[in-house]
Chain A
C-alpha cells in the first residue's frame, strides 16, 4: 500500500479543474498555479525514485494502491513496477519541459490550453499506473478527447480537418478496444490485469483470438501502424509545435506502453506465438517503418516529414518488441526513450525556426539557420541522432535494435533498419542544407506571427537547446540508463512478478 501513487493522477486533474476558476481572477495567479503544479507533479516522481532507490537498483521495486480499499480482483488497483516507473519518468520529464516551452510559445487562449495539457498529463499517468482494463479504456478515451482540441488549437481550416480525422480514427480505435474489454469481461468475469493474466490461457482458442485481434486493431489504429498510418501525419503537423512534440513524442509512447503491458503481461506473449500473429505483427510493423521513411522522403513540409518519421520509428519499436527476447525488449525500450528525446527536441527547435518562415515548406526554410546558429546546430545534432550517428542517443538505440534483429537471425529486419537509416540521411540532410543556404536577394528579415504569439524567445530557444544537449549527453552516457531499462525489461519478460505482486496482498 502506498498512497503516493494516487497523487500522480490527482495533482494534474485537480490543477486542470482549478485553472478556469483562478483564471477568472488573475492571469498571473494562473501562471503561478501552472508552474507550481508542474513542479509538484515532477517532484512527486522524483520523491518516488529517491525514497525507493535501493529497490529500484535491485529491480524489486513495486508500489500499489487499492482505490477505496477494495482488495483485488474487485476494485481498481493502481500499481507501479519498473516498466511503469520508466514510462512515468519519461512522461513527467518531457511534460515539465513542454509546459515550460509552452509558457514562451503559446500566447493566446492560455487558460484553455493548460486545462487540456494537465488533463492529458493526468490521463497519461492514469494509463501508466492503472491495473484495471476498463479503467485503461476510460483513460485512453480521456487522452483522445483532451488531445483533439489541441490538434485544432490554431483554429484554421487545416487544424480543424486534422482534428476531425484524429477524432474519427481515435474513436473507432477506442470502440475496438471497448469490444475487447467487453469480450474479456464476458469470458472471464473480471477486469483486473493480474486476474485476467492468471486465467487467460484457460480460455478456448477462438475467444482468445477474438480478444487479441480486437485489442491489436484498436491499438494499431491509435498508434498509426501501416494500414492506418494515413491520419497521423496531418494530425501531428497541423497543431502548434509544442503540441506536435507532445503528440509525436510522448502520447504515442503511452500507446506503446499499452501494447507492452497488454500483450506481454496481461494476455501473455504465448498467445501471439501460438496463433502465429507475432510474425504478422513484425511484418506489418516493418512495412510501416519502410513506408514511413519513404513518405518522409517524398514530403516537402518539415512538420509532416517529422510526423512520417514518427510512423517509421514506431514501426521499428513495435517490430523489435515483438521479437520477444531480452535484448530486443531492452533495445525497444531504449529506442522509446531515444525517440522521445529526439522528437521532442526536433519539434521544439522546428517551432522556433518556423516563426521566421512564411510556410512549413522546404524552400521557405532557406537561411533559417542564421537566425539562431546555436539552436540550428542543436537541430543538426539531433537530426544526426535520428539518422543514427555515433555520439547521439539514436546511435545507441539503433545499434541495439540491429543486434536484436541479428540475434534472432531475422535478417530482413536488420536490412530494413539499415535501409531506413540511409533514407533518413537523405531527408534530414535536405533540410539542413537548405537551412544553411544564404539568401542572395531581398531582405532576409521576415518576422511572421502565426497564431501562436511568440513573446518569450529566450525560454523557447533555451528549452530547444536543452533537449539537444540532452540527446547528446544521454547518448554519451547511455550505459547509465541500462540499469532501469534492464529492470523494465525484466518486468516485461516475467509477468508472474506482476501477477503475484498485485494478487499476493
Chain B
C-alpha cells in the first residue's frame, strides 16, 4: 500500500512537472462568438481533413470574452483568432494595441436575426415599430412614457392576431441580443422614450412577455414547437436548419430568406467577423492556411460549404476585397 501511494504521488508530480515544459504549440487556438462558432469549426475541420495542419481548436466564449482573451497579449498562451458577431470596439482595439497585438480584420459574412414561430402558428407581417411596441420596457402612449401596457399582439396593432405577446429570446450576455437591440429596438425607438431615458430604447420588458431562453437556440426551437403562439428570436442558421418545423416572419415587408439577407433587403442582419493575430503569423504553424481556407470561394462563396451551414455570403466584390486584405495581413490601425 505504501508503495502504491508513493508511486501514484510520484506520477502526479511528474505529470505536473511535464505540463510546465509544454512543447511549442503547433495547433491554432480560436476563441470568440458562439454565432460564428458553427462556421469557424466547419473551416477548422475542413483544414484538418486536408492533412496540411493539425485541426485548430475552437472555443465558444462569446464575442466579448473572446476579445478579452485575444487582446491579452502575444505568445503561445494567447489565442490566435477570435470570432466576433460585431466589429471590434474602439476600447478593445486600444487594449489590443497596448498589449502589442495587431488584429487583422476579416468580415466573413452576414447573419440574419429572425422572428419565427412554429408552423402550426399564424404568419404575421411585422414592422420594427410593432416589435418595439410589443417588447420595449417603456413605451409612449398618447405622448406619455409608461410601462409597456400591451398584453396581446392586437393591442399593438389591430391587424395583428389577438394572441398573447410571448417572445422567447436571447439573454443580455448574448451577441444576438446586442444586435437585435441595435437593429430593431434602437432603430424603431419612439422619440418620447428616447427623450425620457437615453438608454431606454434598448430596455426589454421584464413582465413575462419576453422570456430569456438562454444561449441555447435549440432550446428555443423546441419550446416554439411546443407552443404555437410563442415567437422566438434567433439566428437565421437555426431557422434554415429547422425549416421543417418553423416559419420566419416578414419584418417591414421582407421575408427572412437567404437571398433577402444576402442582398441586404432584410433589415435585421448583422456582419460576422474573424480577427487574426498578425504577430502569430509564421510563429504558430497554419495561420496563413487557415485564413486562405476561410476566404476561399469553396468555403465562404455562395456555393461554399459555409453557405450550407447557414452563413450568408458577402457580395462578390466585397468578398474579393476582404480576401485580398486578409491574405496581405492588413493589420488594423497600422
Q: Do A and B bind each other?
A: no
Interface positions of A (Cβ within 8 A of B): none
